Amino acid sequence: MREHSQSDALLSAKISVRYGDKPEVLRDVELEVRRGEVLGLIGQSGSGKSTLAMAILGLLDRKKEKTRGSIHFADRDLLTLRESEFRQLRGNKIALVLQSPLSSLNPALKIRTQLREAWKAHANGPAGDCDRAIRTALESVSLPSDDDFLAKYPAQMSVGQAQRVLIAMAIMHRPSLLIADEATSALDVITQSEILTLFRELNRNSGMSILYISHDLASVAGICDRVAILHEGQIVETGTTNQVLLSPAHDYTRRLMAAMPKLPQGISLSKAAGR
């Protein structure tokens, strides 16, 4: 696990979000993603995890929500950006991988076409440059880059392959930050393990920071350097994975740990996390 100093922050947020006159979905949430780390954001459904991700990506409906605070990324406050400025960052410097790959991919377009569109969103150049970028991205996620594979439609792939294609699209422009929002929850156990290993390899090989959003403690324990616990719109505990999951300080975290299925005898979270 990498050592980090307090000056290593790639992204730092302190925000509150409210929809209309309803109670705040996020209340003075403070979150820091450090350079080169995998940060796990844990919380149950409705805790505000996806709202935080959408705020970072500038995808909240500004006509319906009220956001106060700041989100600093690469010396810019994201909350002050216009949509045209966000489009330059989104998919380029900050990328997103969602839960359902077959819903995220266009069923009517071949994989080659969708990968080319992803490249053209933030790059210009001859077709050869695009093809090389596609090949590199696919190889990075252990997928073939031959014509037979690129000619497939999403329905002709397994869910695991489709998720790897989404990840290939997300990393094509080598973003500084990858947000994985419940990116393994729709996968079977074996495929989930493969995708988690892939995330960790991308982090180690490229130094890409990853905000891994999940309600699955076991997957968080397996790949995350640090963990933040989100409960009812507030961060209630933050620390290294071992600190938070092995010695939880907050009552909500202790209840999460108590509800977690028991690991087989002789296996601990620290061993599962490889720490």
What are 186-203's pLDDT values in tens digits? 788 888 899 999 999 999
Residue range 28-36: mean pLDDT, rounded: 96
pLDDT: which is higher, 190 or 112: 112
Secondary structure string (H, E, C) spanning 211-263:
EEEECCHHHHHHHCCEEEEEECCEEEEEEEHHHHHHCCCCHHHHHHHHHCCCC
- Partners of residue 238 on adjacent β-strands: 228
pLDDT on residue 7: 58
Rg of the chain taking only CA atoms, in angstroms: 19
* Burial bucket for residue 223 (CB in 10 Å: 0-12, 13-18, 19+): buried
* Distance between start and end Cα atoms, the chain: 8
Mean pLDDT value across residues 140-165: 94
CA angle 111, 116, 118 (to 5 degrees): 95
What is the pTM (predicted TM-score) of this model? Answer: 0.90
pLDDT score for 25: 94
The stretch 145-152 carries a mean pLDDT of: 96
